[in-house]
Amino acid sequence: MTGATGGDPMTATTGRPTATTGRPTATGQTEPATPAAANRRGVPARRRRGVQWRRKDYGLVILAAPAIVFFLVFAYGPMAGLVVAFQDFNIKDGVFGSPWAGLSNFEFFFTSGQMARILRNTLVLNALFLAATLGAGVLLALMLNEIRGTLLRRGLQSAVFIPYFVSPIVISIFLQAFLAGVGGRGGIVNDALNVFSLPSVSWYTEPGPWPWILTIVKVWQLGGYFSVIFLAAITSIPEEVYEAGVIDGASRAQMAWRITLPLLKPTGAVLLLLGVGRIFYGDFGLIYAIVGDNGILFATTDVIDTYVFRALRTYGDFGTTAAIGLFQSVVGFVLVMIALGVQRRYSKESSIL
Amino acid sequence: MTTTTHTAPTGPAATRALPDGSAQGAPRRRARRPMEAFTAVSYVGASVFGLAAVIPFWMVLAGSLTAESALSQRGYSFWPSPFSTAAYEAIFSGSRVWLAYGATLFITVIGTAMAVAATSGLAWVISRGLPRLSRGLAVFSYIPMLFSGGLVPLYILVTQVLGLRNSLFAVILPLVVAPFLVFVQVSFFRGIPGEILDSARVDGAGELRIFFQIVLPLSKPVLAVIALFYAVTFWNDWFHALLFISDSNIYPLQLVLHNMISNLSMAQDLAGAGAAPLYQIRLAMTVATIGPILLAYPFAQRYFVKGLTLGATKG
């Protein structure tokens, strides 16, 4: 729930819902003036009894107004601000005064030679994160579901959920204690390696294993969170299904595998879909908190977001970074739409929107 | 995370939402048979995961109480020996940590209040199921989950257009409405029986009155849920602070901690004059940062589960 930075060219249209507000009854479809898209609930678009605004209905507008303003400014505003991607932006002239640059910003990024690496890292890391966290979540939910003692179950459920609440910065400090020691000496993992008389590894100068390290961190952080969601879905599975399983002589493992798992598919599909939509975003908070400006690790950890952030901070290059951002959003959007289509096709009941 | 919440926008099929995500069920459907291998594996697996989740917290706590001499040799510690509270004395005697607590508290309290107000208002209007308005607003709130302008326009907006550099509101405002939580709340609001509202309407109550005097008092559980989610988001935010705040007097806790990772002189700075136990301070600062959340966790945890459940299993 980090992302409140969305945006899109819809700014102009968004005023409309507010303007047509005062529908007094929850059922009446009215207002022939705006033949908008809202009419999917099968109510004929015919006026019921004239459009009367009752004064107290303005209350609804007041209630929704702060959030509407928020979305306009912080979500849709930046979407409009993406015009910067086509400009040779400089702070002095601002968004409205900077000269146009056509597609040169895009060209710069796509021909910079960095792109292949960054795109690959972004896709590989996110795919790993998504598969691993969802997998761990399902597995953990199935395992927690087997535990009979209420107290133990509660305790474990609380424990696995804790990591969700700490910030990436804190996670980064945890990780240091494991890989490098707080002062850059030792570290638990190396001490463990030494016990088996294996040589210590200087983790923070070794890009190879980092995709896996980050994946493990991600599983640690989100595995419990997803397991809570899946557990909730498990609890809503009707009892009878399992009774039937027991009568048929199914083992616990068979029931988990053949009954519970398939019934978790809709939940999993939705989570997957949301994940796919974010697949181009990397996980800036976590990766930047852990890797920071450690250039040695960029080969395997630099993703679009971290690259953009660095480019912005070190070169102040607004145009190119906005171009990358736009590219990222568009590809992400297309991916969601594709995923949505695929999902609609295969499971009607669990599709988004 | 928003699993099926999006059905929220669709419909008047409102009434089936449970009042408060009550899906965390007791263990059930146990066949009484000897324990199977799968069950045994589950006990072990879940316990291992549970331990792994908690151990880092213990290590940081133990480390923060271990004397620098021991800490700088191994880099971590499972047991605070030799025991030392030097780091805590050092950081809490300086003013930095208190300033950071002040900034973080401001962000968290003001931010959460604004967020809960804005989110509830919007969610209520969406949940009313008014034909054009509700659905339009639902889509309007949903689009930002799919498509975002990204970092650069946000940066320009906050620093150039709004002129909020070095203001704590630069951290608060971009996070004020989380679409996911809007839908969590919508699905709760739909569970409020229509009769109550109708009777109020018959009595001539206006929309505002209905909302403040009937809906909000009925919604305490969900308000707690979303307030907690927001509070954690605000407490943990460091990215917006990193972007927009350069005045070290208003650095929130997370940013202080972040700067300590990259350079130890920040720790020195925290401790004031004299030779400071730098590594230990780093861990003590970590404990100071997560402490309040961990203290609240046992009380708050069930609300989080409720919130997730509410968002995840409806529809």
CATH class of B88-313: mainly alpha
> H helices of chain B, where?
7-10, 37-64, 68-74, 86-93, 96-127, 131-146, 151-156, 169-172, 179-189, 194-202, 207-209, 216-218, 220-236, 239-244, 253-262, 265-271, 278-313
**Best residue of B24, B49, B65, B139 to probe chain A, by most A CBs closer than 10 Å:** B49
Find the helix or strand (DSSP H, E) in which A125 lies. helix A115-146
Single-letter code of the amino acid located at A21: T
Give me the pLDDT at residue A163, please: 92
Domain residue extents for chain B: 32-84, 88-313
Give the nearest partner residue to B46 out of A71, A156, A161, using CB atoms: A156
Question: In this complex, do B119 and A67 lie within 8 Å of one another by their Cβ atoms?
Answer: yes
The whole-number pLDDT of residue A102 equals 75
**Nearest of A236, A218, A166, A228 to residue B302 by alpha carbon:** A228
Return all residues near A138 (Cβ < 8 A) that are at least 6 apart: A226, A227, A230, A261, A264, A268
A180, A204 Cβ separation under 8 angstroms: yes
Residue in B38, B236, B305 nearest the CB of A252: B38
Would you call A150 and B73 a contact, using CB atoms and an 8 Å cutoff? Answer: no
pLDDT at A120 over 70: yes
pLDDT given at position B270:
61
C-alpha to C-alpha distance for B9 and A344, rounded to whole angstroms: 17
- Predicted confidence at residue B51, as pLDDT, reads 93
Separation in Å, CA of A123 to nearest CA in chain B: 17
The dihedral of CA B121, B126, B127, B130: what is its sign? positive
Q: A166 CA to chain B: closest CA distance, Å?
A: 7
Over residues A42-61, mean pLDDT: 54
Coil/strand/helix, residue B143: helix
The amino acid present at B298, given as its one-letter code, is P
Q: What is the pLDDT of residue B310?
A: 63
Contact B42 A251 (CB under 8 A): no
pLDDT at A213: 92
Q: What is the per-residue pLDDT for A262?
A: 86
Look at residue A215 and tell me whether its pLDDT is greater than 90: yes
CB A217 within 8 A of CB A211: no
Q: Given B60, B121, B137, which is nearest A17 (Cβ)?
A: B137
C-alpha A340/C-alpha A269 separation (Å) is 10
C-alpha pair distances (Å), A92 with each of A97, A308, B156: 8, 21, 12
Task: Give the Cα separation of A342 and A339 in Å (integer).
Answer: 5
Tell which residue, A336, A139, A155, A123, has the closest CA to residue A257.
A139
Say which amino acid occupies A269: A
Run means of pLDDT, 10 residues per run, chain B, 315 residues: 37 38 45 72 92 92 85 77 82 85 94 94 88 84 80 85 89 90 86 85 84 88 86 90 88 88 62 65 89 81 70 47
Indicate whether this complex's ipTM tops 0.90. no
What pLDDT does residue A82 have? 81
**Among partner residues B60, B118, B229, which is closest to A173 by beta-carbon distance?**
B60
With CA atoms as reference, report the closest residue to A95 among B240, B102, B153: B153
Q: Residue A319's closest chain B neighbor by CA?
A: B152
User: What CA–CA distances, in Å, run from A49 to A34, A282, B171, B202?
Assistant: 16, 52, 47, 19
pLDDT of residue A13: 34
- The structural domains of chain A, ordered by start, are 9-82 (no CATH), 110-350 (1.10.3720.10)
The answer to whether A211 and A125 are in contact (CB under 8 A) is yes
Nearest CA to A229 out of B29, B23, B229 is that of B23
Could you give the CA distance from residue B246 to residue B165 in angstroms, rounded to a whole number?
A: 8
| Beta carbons of A53 and A22 less than 8 angstroms apart | yes
For residue A139, pLDDT over 90 is answered with: yes
| pLDDT value of residue B221 | 81
Contacts with B, A 230-269, CB within 8 Å: 231-233, 235-236, 239, 242-243, 246, 251-253, 256, 266-267
Using CA coordinates, name the residue in chain A closest to B8: A353
A137, A161 contact by CB (below 8 A): no
Q: Which of residues 322-351 of A touch B (CB under 8 A)?
A: 322, 324-326, 328-329, 332-333, 336, 350
- What is the pLDDT averaged over residues A144-159? 87
Alpha-carbon torsion angle A295, A300, A305, A306, nearest 10 = -10
Instruction: List % helix, strand, coil for chain A (3-state, nearest 5).
Output: 70, 0, 30
Q: How far is CA A301 from the centre of its chain?
A: 18
A173:B157 CB<8 A: no
Does residue A265 have a pLDDT over 90? no
Instruction: State how far the Cα of B309 lies from the Cα of A141, in Å rounded to an integer.
Output: 14
| Cis before B82 (ω within 30) | yes
Residue with the bigger pLDDT between A89 and B55: it is B55
Q: Greater confidence, A160 or A192?
A: A160
- pLDDT single digits (tens) A323-349: 888 888 888 888 878 877 877 776 655
Q: How far is B228 from chain A (nearest CA, A)?
A: 11
Residue B143: phi and psi, rounded to 5, are -55, -45
- The answer to whether the Cβ–Cβ distance between B148 and A3 falls below 8 Å is yes
A256 contact residues in B (CB cutoff 8 A): 38
| Identity of the amino acid at A197 | S
Q: What SS3 state is found at B66?
A: strand
* Nearest of A307, A323, A330, A308 to residue A100 by alpha carbon: A323
**pLDDT of residue A38 exceeding 60:** no
CA distance A159 to A166: 13
